[in-house]
Amino acid sequence: MNSFAIREIFANNLRFFRKSHNPPFTQEKLSELVGKNQNYIGLIEKGKSSPPLEMIALIAEKLEIEPSLLLEEKASLDNLKSFNKEDLITELSSKIVANLQSSITNEIRNALK
């Protein structure tokens, strides 16, 4: 993967997580939080600037995410837009209930032996 692709992935992920934050951050607000001028985040999101590692860590901290999410190709804007938290919660809840039912059944069987 070349540096342009990484920069584009980072820019898309930054934009997505900034807008997805609750409440959403403007570029200006995020720039203030990381101690930079208001154009700083805009330049990164346009792919015209790349932040140093320390700044990536600080941006991630302010966005309340792991820094690695800003660099993951699978965490691209298009992929994350289609991610449905409710579906994931439903799926995980079903798995938890099934596991609990199985564990309880096994415990009852063992207790009755």
- Whether 32 is in a domain gets the answer yes
Is the pLDDT at 12 greater than 50, yes or no? Answer: yes
Q: Give yes or no: residues 56 and 99 share one domain.
A: no
- Whether 17 is in a domain gets the answer yes
CATH number of 33's domain: 1.10.260.40
Q: Give yes or no: residues 49 and 104 share one domain.
A: no
Domain count, the chain: 2
Range in 12-16, 46-50, 89-93 the model is least confident about: 89-93
93 pLDDT tier (thresholds 50, 70, 90):
confident
What pLDDT does 87 receive?
Answer: 64
User: Residue 22 sits in which domain range?
Assistant: 3-73
The answer to whether the Cα torsion of 15, 17, 20, 21 is positive or negative is: negative
Q: List, as own/partner pairs, every contact residues 23-32 make where C-beta atoms lie below 8 angstroms and the sequence separation is at least 24, other chains included.
A: 25/62, 25/63, 30/59, 30/62, 30/63
What pLDDT does 95 receive?
Answer: 77
Angle at 83 between CA 77 and CA 85, to 5 degrees: 135
What pLDDT does 76 receive?
Answer: 45
Is the pLDDT at 91 greater than 80, yes or no? Answer: no
Q: Give yes or no: residues 42 and 90 share one domain.
A: no
Is the pLDDT at 77 greater than 80, yes or no? Answer: no
Q: Give yes or no: residues 56 and 19 share one domain.
A: yes
pLDDT per residue over 30-65, tens digit each? 999 999 998 999 999 999 999 999 999 999 999 999
What pLDDT does 75 receive?
Answer: 63
- What pTM, to 2 d.p., does this model score? 0.65
- Whether 78 is in a domain gets the answer no
